[in-house]
Chains A and B, each alone.
Chain A
């Protein structure tokens, strides 16, 4: 089955700096690579995803990159703000079969004002 590894497990940055979270996956059949943000006391919420036929995607201060050859994908947050503080999960999924989503262990991001 799919295995998703995520690092770092914790990350502290100064407000205004950038934050980068990296993930690797094992199943070459995976073709969806979403990122979820979990704020304190809430469930995870999908914030951005990238498909296997795309190398990079941006949405305001958030960007995701995918290297299918190396089976790596990353989340980049620029100009971090205190409200970016949360736990971020990467995941991998594919559209065939039961469409199961496999999650990384999560990264706790703290943005220091």
Chain B
């Protein structure tokens, strides 16, 4: 089974702090994604990566950056956390040769910024 793990289930940070969310997958997937999930808004794509050191902006990249130094790890960085970044963050991965919908999700990190 594909396993996508996220470093924290719950995280509380203060406004202005730099925040790192880590995601690791164990199935050698080329593609990795970061979404945020908010009530009434569904899942929105923040950033994605098609390979090591490659990244592309999604629909809502403002205030975020990403890093993919190794194939199995994809990090989401909040350079200066703000209260409007309080949300559930979901990481996903996918094999390059499978359909776009065949993404495997991690359990999520619920981030609260105070």
Q: How far is the CB of A62 from chain B (nearest CB, A)?
A: 15
Q: Restricting to A84-106, which residues have a CB under 8 Å from any CB of B? A: 89, 91, 93-95, 98-101, 103-106
Residue A20 interfacial (CB < 8 Å): no
Number of interface residues of A (CB under 8 A): 26
Bound-state Cα–Cα, A32 to B59, Å: 19
By the criterion CB–CB under 8 Å, are A100 and B92 in contact? no
By the criterion CB–CB under 8 Å, are B107 and A95 in contact? no
By the criterion CB–CB under 8 Å, are A43 and B105 in contact? yes
Contact partners of A89 in chain B: CB under 8 A: 42-43
By the criterion CB–CB under 8 Å, are B100 and A49 in contact? no
Count the A-B residue pairs with Cβ separation under 8 angstroms: how many?
A: 54
Q: Select the residue from A45, A91, A101 with max chain B CB neighbours within 10 A.
A: A101
Residue B82 interfacial (CB < 8 Å): no
Name the one of B40, B45, B102, B107 contacting A46, with C-beta atoms under 8 angstroms: B102
- The majority secondary structure among interface residues of chain B is loop
Q: Restricting to A24-39, which residues have a CB under 8 Å from any CB of B? A: 32, 34
Contact partners of B48 in chain A: CB under 8 A: 98
Bound-state Cα–Cα, A9 to B42, Å: 10
Interface residues on B, range: 20 to 34
Name the one of A1, A6, A99 contacting B100, with C-beta atoms under 8 angstroms: A99
Contacts A4-B42, A46-B101 known; list 16 others, CB within 8 Å. Answer: A1-B59, A9-B40, A34-B101, A42-B107, A43-B106, A43-B107, A43-B108, A44-B90, A44-B105, A89-B42, A93-B101, A95-B99, A100-B58, A100-B100, A103-B43, A106-B42
9 closest residue pairs by CB, A with B: A43-B105, A99-B100, A34-B101, A93-B100, A105-B42, A103-B43, A103-B42, A32-B101, A44-B105
Q: Which residues of A contact B (CB under 8 A)?
A: 1, 4, 6, 9, 32, 34, 41-46, 49, 89, 91, 93-95, 98-101, 103-106
